[in-house]
Amino acid sequence: IAELNLAGNYLHRLPEEVTSLLHLRAINLSRNRFRRFPEPLAAVTTLETIDLEENEITEVPVEKLASMASLRSLNLRENPVGPEVRLLVRPLVPFDVLLSPEKPIPEA
């Protein structure tokens, strides 16, 4: 399998079996219920594209992502990722990370 589309399935975790998909280049996990980046994906060395749009992700293991040699694009739009992710991603990660614009902080 080169592409796996699991969009809109209410998933909140990934089975470890994903790591056995040796030719997986793209995975679509948008519109699910992930609260954190699915760590098994970091072991899939062939992945080029990860789509996690519209989840509930707040934490991203930036160091693990930085070691994913094939990764070209990570879509984290519509996720409540914290500002620390935005700060870490730029210097550490050599690929495109798509994030929603930061919501302005309401003035008191």
- Any domain includes 105: no
What domain range is 32 assigned to? Answer: 3-95
**Predicted model pTM:** 0.85
Query: What would the mean pLDDT of 24-51 be, rounded to a whole number?
Result: 94
CATH of the domain at 15: 3.80.10.10
**CA angle, 52 then 84 then 89, to 5°:** 60
- Any domain includes 102: no
What is the per-residue pLDDT across 59-99, written as a single tens digit (0 to 9) for each?
888 888 888 889 989 999 999 988 777 777 666 666 777 77
User: How many domains does the chain divide into?
Assistant: 1
